Amino acid sequence: MFYPNALFGNLLIVAFGSAFLTYVLGKISQSLRNGFAIIISLVLVLMVAGLYGLGKEIVYFRFFDYPLLLRINALSWFFAITITVLSTLSIIFSLSYMRDTPQLDFYYLMMLLVNASMLGIVLAGDLISFYVFWEIMSWSIFLLVSYNKGPALAAGLKYIVISLVGSLCMLVGILSLYTHCGTFDISQLAVLIASAPHGYIVFILLMFCIAFGIKNGIMPLHTWVPSAYSESPSPFTAVLSGILAKMGTFGFLMIFYILLGWRVFLYLGQGVLSFHYILCIIAAITIVIPNFIAVLQDDAKKLLAWSSIGQCGYILLGIAFGTSLGLAGGIFHFFNHAIFKALLFLAIGAVEFRTNGVRDLNSLGGLVNKMPVTFMATLVGACGLIGIPLTNGFVSKWLIYKTLILKGSPFLAFAALLGTWGSFLAIYKLLHNVFLGQPSETHKNIKSAPFTMQIAMAILSIATIVFGIFPGLALNIINSIGISLGFESLDVNLWGIASETGTLNTINIFGAIVVFMFIVYIIFRTGAKSVLVPQDDSYAAGSYIPEGKYHYTVDFYNPFLRMVRPWLKDRIDQFYYWISSTSEKLAELVRRIYTGDLGYYVIYIILFLAVLIFTQLIWKPW
């Protein structure tokens, strides 16, 4: 019924055209625009789903008479489906979140434009298309991050300047590849680059890694992430952390395995100094430090943002490590992180919506009774983040740990473990401070989250658990991606992966947990009745219990933080700040050349002439 070729050729046109159409419709009627946005996002999901299993490329445009290609294969399809589904859920969420904000047409235009450009990136078959869509995505993100005004402006500016550095590095890399090999086509480049000298390959890799590392939030290129994530509107933050940052992951996959091929990539350099191992070490640092900085945060979204940076380290670790298990773990963790991080950001967004914009963890609390669905969603997301069995995070983390231990990298494995501890501390702080404890006076009467928000969160929670119990659903596709990139196949079935040193069989885990919970239930039922106690009945050692509430969440983890805080100053951010303030001072100095005095100006003219003549007379360079 659906002709895959027609779908493929028109996908981008539909995506981009619908963005502008939404803007125009918004001028006519609000609800028309909202409905159209949702319908078109769903249409895009269906279109991408219809492309399953397709593997072809088409020429769709000529730029300066270079043909621009669109290519779809298993990897692109996987990313594309994640992009469209997550984007749809975000737009559903935005229906109620963004109800009363100004400039809504612009918001929907930008959300759909971001969606379309991300589709363009994963479907690009040559480097010019890749770059063009990458840049369109970049400036769309800039406009959306600045959407909230106020402190968001500084966050947006920081983001776009850092992103511009990355993009220009990538441009140099792309054009250097062109001048070396004569083509922009990725598949042709893959053949031609294999014969290039290693130093040149490292240079190209460096250029691309800077660009993708900036987008992905790898240290030390991560400084734009906390401020940008926390200041952008929450549904967009879900998209931003869920998939936009993963465009960097897609880029890494493309440059490491499609362009260079694993044979070249894994053998650059020797032993500990090999390129991919250094990347693993950087990824390990990215796992450890940001997860602990997340614990220090008092702003809910900043906490999640730092935690995102940490999780991206896992993804890079899995990808760069170079084994098929690692690759599967990395790609699956990208998918899982998209799901549970988006879930977490949407949940915090719901809390923010109902409390009129409060994100400060020290003033929230006790919302579990008022917003039960949101609490369940956060709980599921937190479980996914930590990697509790039966959630999808567990499977992907298992894969990564497995490959680290199998290949004998104890330090990396320990770093990954440290990261898990840190993320556990951080996410528990979030969960406790927002939902548990006593509700504050101002937030006593908030309502539960609106229906559309609940739908989005519910779908994502279900996805977290489903992919935890039946990971094979995704692992099949990931396995085919791995095979297409030249790795050996994994033994995947619906409930897990078999490997040499033990099988992951989630159905066994599921069965074990069900049995265990049944036993616990029996014990509770037949044991003593539980007593209901009012929440503010605290032990005060005989003295009077003061009025008002105890908020147990201020200065959460204080002893631990006191120990850890001196180690976790954000020196990298200070370094970048120092660069920008120095350039501002330099700019002030340069301004003073133009003094306003006419005599100086004419002196400049005569000086220039004199310099020209004297250098010729004395050194005769010309």
Interface residue with other proteins, options 28, 272, 593, 618 (CB under 8 A): 593
- Distance CA(149)–CA(139), nearest Å, equals 16
Binding region for other proteins (CB under 8 A) out of 294-302, 374-382, 556-564, 578-586:
578-586
| Half-sphere exposure for 584 (CA within 13 Å, toward CB) | 6
Tokens of 384: 């996914």
157 binds other proteins (CB under 8 A): yes
108 binds other proteins per the rule CB under 8 A: no
Concatenated DSSP letters of 323-349: SHHHHHHHHHHHHHHHHHHHHHHHHHH
d(CA 93, CA 304): 18
- Of 523, 590, 618, 619, the one binding other proteins by CB under 8 A: 590
Element (H, E) at 468: helix 451-469
Among 73, 96, 146, 374, binds other proteins (CB under 8 A): 146
DSSP letter assigned to residue 58: E
The yes or no reply on residue 46 touching other proteins (CB under 8 A) is: no
Residue 567 or 622: the one with the smaller Cβ distance to other proteins is 622
Positions in 165-184 near other proteins (CB under 8 A): 165, 168, 171-172, 175-176, 178-179
- Assess 609 for contact with other proteins (CB under 8 A): yes
Could you give the C-alpha distances from 513 to 21, 82, 119, 194, 390, in angstroms and in order? Answer: 50, 29, 39, 50, 9
Cβ closest to other proteins, residue 522 vs residue 607: 607
559 vs 596 by CB, closer to other proteins: 596
Q: Give the interface segment with other proteins, choosing from 49-57, 217-225, 472-480, 593-601 (CB under 8 A).
A: 593-601
| The length of the chain, given as a count of residues | 622
Closest listed residue to residue 125, CA positions, set 188, 216, 210: 188
Contact flags string 498-537 toward other proteins, x per CB under 8 A: ----------------------------------------
Question: CB 106: neighbour CB atoms within 10 A?
Answer: 14
* Nearest distance, CB of residue 257 and other proteins, angstroms: 25
Q: How far is the CB of 604 from other proteins (least distance, A)?
A: 4
Q: Is 224 in the site for other proteins (CB under 8 A)?
A: no
User: Considering the rule CB under 8 A, would residue 619 count as an interface residue with other proteins?
Assistant: no
| Residue 64 touches other proteins, criterion: CB under 8 A | yes
Cis bond before residue 372 (omega within 30° of 0): no
| Alpha carbons 244 and 551: distance in angstroms, whole number | 36
For residue 443, CA distances in Å to 345, 356, 437, 454, 554 come to: 20, 10, 13, 19, 16
The answer to whether residue 149 forms part of the interface with other proteins (CB under 8 A) is yes
Contacting other proteins (CB under 8 A), which of 152, 247, 350, 416? 152
Distance of closest approach, residue 146 Cβ to other proteins, in angstroms: 5
Binding of other proteins by 579 (CB under 8 A): no
Token pair belonging to 394: 């567990």
Those residues with Cβ within 8 angstroms of residue 287's Cβ, 6 or more apart along the chain or in another chain: 310, 313, 314, 317, 415, 416, 418, 419
Q: Does 588 sit near other proteins (CB under 8 A)?
A: yes
Burial class (CB in 10 A: 0-12, 13-18, 19+), 171: middle
From CA 340, how far away is CA 352, in angstroms rounded? 18
Q: Which of residues 444-483 bind other proteins (CB under 8 A)?
A: none
Contact 336, 393 (CB under 8 A): yes
* Angstrom distance (rounded) from CA 223 to CA 218: 9
Candidates 87-95, 462-470, 503-511, 590-598 — which segment interacts with other proteins by CB under 8 A? 590-598
Output the smallest distance, CB 180 to other proteins, in A: 8
- If binding is defined by CB under 8 A, does position 577 make contact with other proteins? no
600 touches other proteins by CB under 8 A: yes
Residue 617 in contact with other proteins, rule: CB under 8 A: yes
Place of tokens 């999780």: 311
Say how far apart CA 235 and CA 88 lie, in whole Å: 10
Q: Is 28 among the residues that bind other proteins (CB under 8 A)? A: no
Of the candidate spans 78-86, 323-331, 338-346, 598-606, the one that interacts with other proteins by CB under 8 A turns out to be: 598-606
The Cβ of residue 334 has, within 10 Å, a number of other Cβ atoms equal to: 29
Check if the beta carbon of residue 250 is closer than 8 Å to that of residue 130: no
Select 32 or 613, whichever has its Cβ closest to other proteins. 613
616 lies in the binding site for other proteins (CB under 8 A): yes
Does 406 bind other proteins (CB under 8 A)? Our answer is no
Residue 441 binds to other proteins (criterion: CB under 8 A): no
Q: Which of 345, 342, 337 is nearest to 313 (CA)?
A: 337
Interface residues with other proteins (CB under 8 A) are 62-65, 131-132, 135-136, 138-139, 142-143, 146-147, 149, 152-153, 156-157, 160-161, 164-165, 168, 171-172, 175-176, 178-179, 583-584, 586-588, 590-609, 612-613, 616-617, 620-622
